[in-house]
Amino acid sequence: MHKRQTYTIKNINDKLMMENAIIVKAGKGKTSIILYSDEYAEKMHTFLNDNNFQTIQTNPTDIFRTLLTKTLQQCDLIINKNQIKNLLQKKPQAPTLKAQIKIHKPGRPVINNMNAPAYKISKYLVNKLNKYLNLEHQYTT
């Protein structure tokens, strides 16, 4: 069975190379898409150009993390001082653009924010606001 699978995979790769196509993982789920390489590159360039992305010379991630730390230290009414170190990323990185296609939202690639400096803070504040809004909703109904 292993030889047959290897043979099939080699044939698929050969066909993709011949047609100048690639297999791309879709954003969510376990779906794959076959696209022509030119079409794929065009979708990414269109997205970057339409949204006015620009190349910058320096990485602002460390400066942003420093500003977040100072801001959190001033927000002692919302966030406990002991929680601040847990809400900051240990090794923050700028969000990365993954060239995956979203099937349910055409024209928008996947952006990985999990290592961004404000990811944990955003998640914490969303949870806190949702709890507050749910409490408000209970009292008004």
At residue 103's C-alpha, the angle toward residues 24 and 16, to 5°, is 25
Q: Would you say residue 83 has pLDDT above 80?
A: yes
- Among 83-92, 97-106, 131-140, the minimum mean pLDDT is found in 97-106
Residues 22 and 35 sit within 8 Å (Cβ to Cβ)? yes
| Total domain count, the chain | 1
Backbone angle region of 52, left / alpha / beta, with phi > 0 → left and psi within -120 to 50 → alpha: left
Which residues lie closer than 8 Å to 30 by C-beta, 6 or more apart? none
Tell me the two tokens of residue 86: 């847990």
Question: What pairing do the DSSP bridges indicate for beta strands 109-112 and 21-25?
Answer: unpaired
In this prediction, residue 7 carries a pLDDT of 92
Residue scoring higher pLDDT (76 or 123): 123
In this prediction, residue 51 carries a pLDDT of 82
pTM score of the predicted model: 0.59
Domain that holds residue 133: 2-140
* 6-to-2, 3, 19, 30, 84 alpha-carbon distances in Å: 6, 5, 20, 22, 51
Residue scoring higher pLDDT (27 or 70): 70
Instruction: Write out pLDDT tens, residues 108-131.
Output: 666 778 888 899 999 988 988 888
Instruction: Write out pLDDT tens, residues 44-54.
Output: 888 888 888 88
